[in-house]
């Protein structure tokens, strides 16, 4: 076990994702079974009491890896010394809303948090934004943290990736573990493009095993609109699956992706695949040595190109909107 605990700041700690996330972090699923963690829970003042209750429960689990819990309602204090920051705290959408409808309400949260990360986080800080609209919130935080390398700011599309794996496994009767190299491109929104054209199932091209009609009228909309379907069914947005995806994203970032497949994450674009430099957009990615890299050289068909461009155009609109609001 490494001697020095890793400081993990979680915002929105008293919310429903927070409740599904914190116990898994404390039990070693975020960073691995040999890494002790210190939790730094950041809430708004009204959320502090509930966070204290969750902290009591965490203590009651007597997790061997949990080296401490502190609770804050001030971002500067909450991000002090953070090595990993999970930016979850934000208002979730309700039935009938698109995630973009949250831009103004949630955009205001991520500027000050970016500034606080800039001021006091550890040198090796890694940030995952979960709160919606996640890509653009991550952009706001990143632009407000000019001294932190831009590539430390990422947004979560791993839930979409996992949803796509599961849908494809269900359709083909394959095990999820047999599916390799799926990609989510673009925005964590209804315009996202789940791409199976490089995926294989048990070594065979996935596109040979399903037909184009299913792909277009079933798979893509099901994955892209799954968040809304869950809100409709549960009366609240996804929580345990979102927490699980956040764990997957950070675990892979820190420990590296498996050698035999890539995954998806929204990271700062370097201009690859025609995505404007600086946007935080989902790509096929691998992680090595604590850094994400975009999988290069994939052929992009006209069908895929159109879908990627549509989602990226939405990200450009969101960026321009937050620029107009003075948030970046
Ligand atoms: P929730 O309402 O249950 O919890 C949100 C928590 O954040 C609350 O406790 C609230 O007090 C806190 N909070 C609000 N503003 C804050 C701030 N400035 N600093 C710290 N804490 C703050 O919501 P939830 O279901 O946990 O969802 C959280 C966010 O995650 C929402 O924006 C939701 O849309 C998003 N989400 C994203 C994905 C994804 O795949 N990217 C998946 C599911 C949910
Ligand atoms: C999801 O994809 O489940 C989340 O982004 C919540 C939402 O608003 O859809």
Nearest residue by C-alpha to atom 11 in ligand 1: 47
Quote the Cα angle for 27-31-32, to 5°. 70
Task: Work out the number of other CB atoms within 10 angstroms of the CB of residue 272.
Answer: 17
Nearest residue by C-alpha to atom 1 in ligand 2: 227
Counting atoms of ligand 2 from 1, which one is nearest the CA of 160? 2
Helix residue ranges per DSSP H, 62-102:
75-78
Greatest Cα pair distance, the chain, in angstroms, is: 55
Counting atoms of ligand 1 from 1, which one is nearest the CA of 236? 25
**224 and 119 within one domain:** no
**94 and 167 within one domain:** no
For residue 156 the two structure tokens come to 């979560």
**254 and 209 within one domain:** yes
Residue 2 scores a pLDDT above 60: no
Question: Is 198 one of the catalytic residues?
Answer: no
Nearest residue by C-alpha to atom 9 in ligand 2: 227
Give the contacts of 251 (CB within 8 A, at least 6 positions apart): 29, 30, 31, 32
Segment 282-313, tens digit of pLDDT: 999 999 999 999 999 999 999 999 999 999 99
Residue 100: predicted pLDDT: 76
Quote the Cα angle for 321-326-328, to 5°. 80
Pocket test for ligand 2, best of 17, 128, 228 (most atoms within 8 A of CB): 228
Domain residue limits at 291: 158-318
Q: How far apart are CA 21 and CA 3, in angstroms?
A: 23
Query: Residue 296 is part of a domain; what is its CATH number?
Result: 3.90.110.10
pTM of the predicted model, to two decimals? 0.97
**298 and 207 within one domain:** yes
Angle subtended by helix axes 16-26 and 48-61, to nearest 10? 30
Q: State the pLDDT confidence band at 96, using cuts at 50, 70 and 90.
A: confident
**Backbone torsion region of residue 321, taken as left when φ is above 0, otherwise alpha when ψ lies between -120 and 50, otherwise beta:** alpha
Residue 140 scores a pLDDT above 80: yes
ipTM of the complex: 0.98
- Residue 93 near ligand 2, beta carbon < 6 Å: yes
**Assigned domain for 84 exists:** yes
- Residue 17 near ligand 1, beta carbon < 6 Å: yes
Domain count, the chain: 2
Which of 103, 126, 155 marks a domain boundary?
155
């Amino acid at each position: 076990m490494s001697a020095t605990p890793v400081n993990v700041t979680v915002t929105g700690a008293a919310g429903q994702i927070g409740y599904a996330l914190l116990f898994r972090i404390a039990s070693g699923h975020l960073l691995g079974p040999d890494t002790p963690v210190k939790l730094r829970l950041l809430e708004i003042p009204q959320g502090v009491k509930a966070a204290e209750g969750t902290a009591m429960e965490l203590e009651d689990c007597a997790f061997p890896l949990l080296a401490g819990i502190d609770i804050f309602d001030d971002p500067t204090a909450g991000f002090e010394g953070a090595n990993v920051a999970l930016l979850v705290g934000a208002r979730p959408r309700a039935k009938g809303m698109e995630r973009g409808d949250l831009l103004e309400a949630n955009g205001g949260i991520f500027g000050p948090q970016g500034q606080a990360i800039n001021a006091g986080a550890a040198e090796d800080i890694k940030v995952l934004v979960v709160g919606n609209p996640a890509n653009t919130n991550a952009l706001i935080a990143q632009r407000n943290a000019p001294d932190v390398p831009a590539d430390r700011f990422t947004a979560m599309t791993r839930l979409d990736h996992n949803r796509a794996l599961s849908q494809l496994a269900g359709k083909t009767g394959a095990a999820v573990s047999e599916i390799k190299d799926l990609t989510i491109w673009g925005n964590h929104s209804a315009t996202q493009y789940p791409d199976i054209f490089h995926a294989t199932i048990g070594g065979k091209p996935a596109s040979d095993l399903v037909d184009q009609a299913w792909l277009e009228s079933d798979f893509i909309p099901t994955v892209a609109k799954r968040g809304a379907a869950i809100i409709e069914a549960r009366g609240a947005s996804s929580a345990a699956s979102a927490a699980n995806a956040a764990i997957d994203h950070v675990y892979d970032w820190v420990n590296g992706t498996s050698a035999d497949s890539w995954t998806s994450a929204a990271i700062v674009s370097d201009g690859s695949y025609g995505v404007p430099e600086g946007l935080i957009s989902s790509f096929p990615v691998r992680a090595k040595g604590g850094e994400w890299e975009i999988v290069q050289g994939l052929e992009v068909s006209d069908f895929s190109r159109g879908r990627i461009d549509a989602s990226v155009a939405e990200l450009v609109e969101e960026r321009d909107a937050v620029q107009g609001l003075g948030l970046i």
